Amino acid sequence: MAAKAPDPSSRPDAVGRAVAPLPPRRLLWANFAWTQVAWFAAVLGAAHGWPVLGCLPLAAGLAWHLSTVRRAQPEARLVLYAVLLGTLADAGPVLLGAVAYPSGQWTAVLPPFWLSGLWAAFATSINLTLRWLHGRPLLAALLGAVAGPLAFSSGVRLGGAQFVDAPLALGWLALEWALMLPLLCWLGQRHDGAAGPAAAVPLREGV
């Protein structure tokens, strides 16, 4: 029986074991572009009282992502985990009275649905544009602690949210993102549909 040829997009590691092929570069650029558009659309839509309309680019981008990755099922699981965990984490500042939202809240104790949707969009970046954070939990925690509050503050400036108690809200967000980003990267490694399964690569002689 003839041996199966290795996937040309995969590379053996130091001992010749199979390494999953990386996502195509075009997907990285596309992911970066559509998630930026989705973020601005969702925030501005909420700021102007049109949260459902603002989520349309997000929904379209998410559907496109799941239709283009190598394996949609693990990516969908990662998105679901991100939405559930992110929504619970973002409920903290709401319950503490540290932030308020102009539109889109299902209930007074939860963040608005468009913010949960942004967690879904963010999850699609974990195995693509943020793939370089895999296996680097400390770096992910540091980046999350800085970038998370900055991104939320940008949303506040655009009118998508309001600080009621800014120090409390920013402190919560820094801690939240310092925990969430490493956790999502860890989950992304275990639910990676962007890179695909590893191809069989023969061991080198003498190993």
Give the model confidence (pLDDT) of 69-93 as tens digits: 999 999 999 999 999 999 999 999 9
Q: Is 178 a domain residue?
A: yes
Residue 18 has pLDDT above 70, yes or no: no
Q: Contact, 93 vs 172, CB < 8 A?
A: yes
Average pLDDT over residues 112-133: 97
Q: Is 124 a domain residue?
A: yes
Alpha carbon distance 36, 43 (integer Å) = 11
Alpha carbon distance 63, 49 (integer Å) = 24
* pTM: predicted TM-score of the whole model, two decimal places: 0.85
Structural domains counted in the chain: 1
pLDDT: which is higher, 205 or 128: 128
Q: Is 201 a domain residue?
A: no
Q: Contact, 171 vs 195, CB < 8 A?
A: no
Alpha carbon distance 135, 119 (integer Å) = 21
- Residues of the chain above pLDDT 70, percent: 84
Range of the domain at 106: 25-190
